[in-house]
Amino acid sequence: MSVDRATVRRIAHLARLAITAEEEARLEKELSGILDWVAQLDELDTSNVEPMTRVAAMTMKKREDRITDGFCAGDILKNAPMADDHYFVVPKIVE
Amino acid sequence: MTKLTDLTIAEAREGLRAKSFSARELAEAHIDAIDRANDALNAYVLKTPERALEMADASTARLKKGEGGALEGIPLGIKDLFCTKDVRTTACSHILDGFTPTYESTVTANLWAEGAVMLGKLNNDEFAMGSSNETSHYGPVVNPWRRKDSSVKLVPGGSSGGSSAAVAARLCMGATATDTGGSIRQPAAVTGTVGIKPTYGRCSRWGIVAFASSLDQAGPIARSVRDAAILLKVMASSDPKDTTSVDMKVPDYEAAVDRGVKGLTIGIPKEYRVPGMAPEIEKLWQQGVEWLKAAGANVKEVSLAHTKYALPSYYIVAPAEASSNLARYDGVRYGLREKGADVISMYENTRAAGFGAEVKRRILIGTYVLSAGYYDAYYLKAQKVRTLIKQDFDQAFETVDAILTPTTPGPAFALGEKSGDPVEMYLNDIFTVTVNMAGLPGMSIPAGLSSEGTPLGLQLIGCAFDEETLFRAGRVIEEAAGPVFKPQDWWSKR
């Protein structure tokens, strides 16, 4: 197994996913299976290969730094599970 | 008279202009077909009949005045990955429950600007992660095709399974779809429809729910090569809101359709002859070669040496980018929120309740390969493999104009047949995923029926931004294969 139970727990916490003990056991097996399968890439020597960063040669488009959008707080908050007076409401963070 | 729902977009366009029928009649025929079919097929996750009729009447008014766009009055289905203003958009995930965008994706805005009519939102695998449409929060889509003398439910492919099923079952004239590893071409192949993923950068990604941003592209699924050309012309555009959209004029793809393949050279990649390939797939591929030769093309073998590494590197790149893109679903700004003792547990509980098993699996793989100490070994390595895959194609395209391959390793499989092992499911994309990794255009054309009586497709791969050659060669295959790709209607309630 390339991934053990503790690693699954650590990764799930990094990904902010609550998982049950049952899921842990299943994921340990599934993630190991996938990682073992992708390990075949080790056959390739890529020490002198540049990573691909774009599909077609093009330089990133730039635009003038000015405001083109905004003043739509109502739109932005429209789908929020909890909002109050143009703020998103979240559980208390600072005691 | 042919039923209105059986017309191609090209035929309906003529009929509307000649006033043989109205845009409202055309919309109503489709709304009725959807109402009678959707319980059995589950292709639509949201029907928008009022919006459709409103848009159809506006089309009629424009047509009356002799105005009207390229898709005036044409009823389309929209994959639920495209944000549609004031119309629920969920990517078929529980975590986006009730999300109603306040903006319109660029691709759909382009369609409406040319007069297209929206019938509703189409089912897909959750966040487009799947090859069978079985991961949708709204349940699986059923393929309108059945095996000979069988009523076993088959999958419509994925992730654009609602799009492929709806187009095949005549529940819309064409549909939008997206393709990250094969999600347009694979469902098109197993439903007897035409699907094209254009070159990365051809269609704006703005307003499309993101899966893997360096791979995602939008494209159409339609019932003919010409219809796919008509749709892609409108969907593609240069968009300042997506920095990866290219500043290139969109060609008149429809004009390319009838140009034929005389003098073109088509490449056959020897590495696509994978071990254990079904003899009927091999035979279909050879048939495709013969058809193109008969139409005047030259055919030669090419080598795409790194083909076998495309799928494993894809399953690093795609989950890595997905884990990053899906970090935004935190229960704060939109969608589902579950309670928690503090803000972290609120995030964790929300994401645990909101994402399905396949999405969680990919988020975790992505988080793992991007975590401290692993970046170089996985993500960077995979991006280097992409360079090798791209170089293979660059070399091949020095001597050929397009490449012909099968689209899928086999015909549609049954619901539940491949859900046990994730890697087995991933292998469905073995022929399509290389194209995304290299950013190239790829098209699937219905080419024959399997021994089970269900459709099989051939794939054409083109040079970057040369979709026109795909439409030319695609039309030759379509014409040679003949008009056999209509499933028998078993799904409509009388």
Which pLDDT tens digit goes with each residue over B99-115? 999 999 999 999 999 99
Quick check: B262 pLDDT over 60? yes
pLDDT of residue A1: 64
Long-range contacts from A22-29, C-beta under 8 angstroms, 24+ separation: A23/B360, A27/B360, A27/B361, A27/B364, A28/A1, A28/A3, A28/A4, A29/A1
Calpha distance B22→B26 (Å, rounded): 6
Residue B18 sits at the chain A interface (C-beta within 8 Å) = no
Residue B382 sits at the chain A interface (C-beta within 8 Å) = yes
Q: Which residues form the domain of B468?
A: 7-261+415-481
Given a contact cutoff of 8 angstroms between Cβ atoms, the answer to whether B219 and B177 are in contact is: yes
Q: What pLDDT, in 10s, does the model give residues B25-49? A: 999 999 999 999 999 999 999 999 9
- Which B residues, 328 through 357, put their C-beta within 8 Å of a C-beta on chain A? 330-337, 340-349, 351-352, 355
Q: Which residues pair with B217 in a beta bridge?
A: B179
- Which B residues, 400 through 439, put their C-beta within 8 Å of a C-beta on chain A? 421-423, 438-439
Q: What pLDDT, in 10s, does the model give residues B354-376? A: 999 999 999 999 999 999 899 99
Structural domain includes residue B96: yes
Q: What is the ipTM of this complex?
A: 0.95
Q: What pLDDT, in 10s, does the model give residues B170-197? A: 999 999 999 999 999 999 999 999 999 9
3-state class percentages of chain B: helix first, strand second, coil last, to nearest 5: 45, 15, 45
Q: Which residues of B are catalytic?
A: 79, 159, 183
Calpha distance B102→A77 (Å, rounded): 10
Quick check: B419 pLDDT over 80? no
Residue of chain A minimizing CA distance to B103: A75
Q: Which residues pair with B121 in a beta bridge?
A: B46, B78
Quick check: B169 pLDDT over 90? yes
Calpha distance B347→B364 (Å, rounded): 15
Q: Dihedral of CA A5/A6/A12/A18: which sign?
A: positive
Residue of chain B minimizing CA distance to A8: B364
At position B225, the amino acid (one-letter code) is V
- Which B residues, 198 through 257, put their C-beta within 8 Å of a C-beta on chain A? 199-201, 214, 240, 243-244, 246-247
pLDDT of residue B225: 98
Residue A71 sits at the chain B interface (C-beta within 8 Å) = no
Residue of chain A minimizing CA distance to B313: A38
Quick check: B1 pLDDT over 60? no
Calpha distance B250→B31 (Å, rounded): 32
Q: How does strand B44-47 pair with strand B174-179? A: unpaired
Q: Which two tokens stand for residue B287?
A: 């048939």
Given a contact cutoff of 8 angstroms between Cβ atoms, the answer to whether A58 and B312 are in contact is: no
Cα Rg, chain A, nearest whole Å: 23
Among candidates B337, B348, B387 on the partner chain, residue whose Cβ is nearest the Cβ of A52: B387
- Residue A93 pLDDT class (50, 70, 90 cuts): confident
Structural domain includes residue B304: no
Percentage of chain B modeled with pLDDT above 90: 95
Q: Which two tokens stand for residue B103?
A: 């903006």
CA of A75 vs chain B CAs: smallest distance (Å): 6
Calpha distance B194→B221 (Å, rounded): 6
Count the neighbouring beta carbons within 10 Å of the beta carbon of residue B137.
22
Q: How is residue A41 annotated by DSSP?
A: G
Calpha distance A56→A43 (Å, rounded): 27
Mark yes or no for CB contact A50/B378 under 8 Å.
no
Mark yes or no for CB contact A58/B246 under 8 Å.
yes
Mark yes or no for CB contact B199/A56 under 8 Å.
yes
Given a contact cutoff of 8 angstroms between Cβ atoms, the answer to whether B408 and B189 are in contact is: yes
Among candidates A15, A38, A52 on the partner chain, residue whose Cβ is nearest the Cβ of B312: A38
Of 3.30.360, 1.10.20, 1.10.260, 1.10.10, the CATH number of A5-43 is 1.10.20
- Residue B17 pLDDT class (50, 70, 90 cuts): very high
Residue B296 sits at the chain A interface (C-beta within 8 Å) = no
Q: What is the DSSP code string of B376-416?
A: IIIIIHHHHHHHHHHHHHHHHTTT-SEEEEESSSSSPPBTT
For residue B145, give the 3-state DSSP assignment.
coil
A–B interface: beta-carbon pairs under 8 A: 160
Q: What pLDDT, in 10s, does the model give residues A21-74? A: 999 999 999 999 999 999 999 999 999 999 998 777 777 778 899 998 889 999
Given a contact cutoff of 8 angstroms between Cβ atoms, the answer to whether A81 and B227 are in contact is: no
- Which A residues, 25 through 44, put their C-beta within 8 Å of a C-beta on chain B? 27, 30-31, 33-35, 37-38, 40-41, 44
Q: Find tokens 């699954």 and name the residue.
A: A8
Given a contact cutoff of 8 angstroms between Cβ atoms, the answer to whether B100 and B77 are in contact is: no
pLDDT of residue B427: 84
Residue of chain B minimizing CA distance to A7: B368
pLDDT of residue B483: 86
Calpha distance B483→B486 (Å, rounded): 8
Residue of chain B minimizing CA distance to A55: B439
Calpha distance B384→A42 (Å, rounded): 12
CA of B346 vs chain A CAs: smallest distance (Å): 8
Q: What pLDDT, in 10s, does the model give residues B287-336? A: 999 999 999 999 999 999 999 999 999 999 999 999 999 999 999 999 99
A41 CB neighbours in chain B (<8 A) are 309, 312-313, 316, 381-382, 385
For residue B267, give the 3-state DSSP assignment.
strand
Q: Find tokens 């499309």 and name the residue.
A: B208
Count the neighbouring beta carbons within 10 Å of the beta carbon of residue B52.
25
Given a contact cutoff of 8 angstroms between Cβ atoms, the answer to whether B223 and B164 are in contact is: no
CA of A53 vs chain B CAs: smallest distance (Å): 7
Calpha distance B191→B446 (Å, rounded): 8
Query: With the CA atoms of B237, B241, B242 and B245 taken in that order, what torsion angle do they form, in degrees rounded to the nearest 10?
Result: 30
Question: B21 phi and psi, to 5 degrees?
Answer: -155, 165
Q: Which two tokens stand for residue B143?
A: 């393929």
Q: Specify whether the backbone of B123 is left (phi greater than 0), alpha (psi in -120 to 50) or beta.
A: beta
End-to-end CA separation in angstroms for chain B: 20
Structural domain includes residue B211: yes
Given a contact cutoff of 8 angstroms between Cβ atoms, the answer to whether B398 and B463 are in contact is: no
Rounded mean pLDDT of B215-244?
97
Residue B115: CATH number of its domain: 3.90.1300.10
CA of B249 vs chain A CAs: smallest distance (Å): 15
Structural domain includes residue B64: yes
Q: Which two tokens stand for residue A50?
A: 């540049």
Q: Which of B214, B337, B345, B365 to mutate to test the interface with A (most CBs of A within 10 A)?
A: B365
Residue B367 sits at the chain A interface (C-beta within 8 Å) = yes
Q: Which residues of B434-443 are buried (b: 16+ CB within 10 A; e: fewer)?
A: bbbbbbbbbb
Which residues 6+ apart lie within 8 Å of B435 measured at CB? B182, B185, B197, B441, B442, B459, B461
For residue B60, give the 3-state DSSP assignment.
helix
Question: Structural domain boundaries of chain A?
Answer: 5-43
Q: Which of A38, A49, A90 to mutate to test the interface with B (most CBs of B within 10 A)?
A: A38
Calpha distance A37→A54 (Å, rounded): 26
Calpha distance B241→B239 (Å, rounded): 5
Mark yes or no for CB contact B386/A60 under 8 Å.
no
Provide the domain count of chain B. Answer: 1
Does the N-terminal peptide bond of residue B237 adopt cis geometry, omega within 30 degrees of 0?
no
Nearest to B434 by CA among B293, B317, B341: B317
pLDDT of residue A37: 92
Mark yes or no for CB contact A34/B333 under 8 Å.
no
Q: Which residues pair with B60 in a beta bridge?
A: none
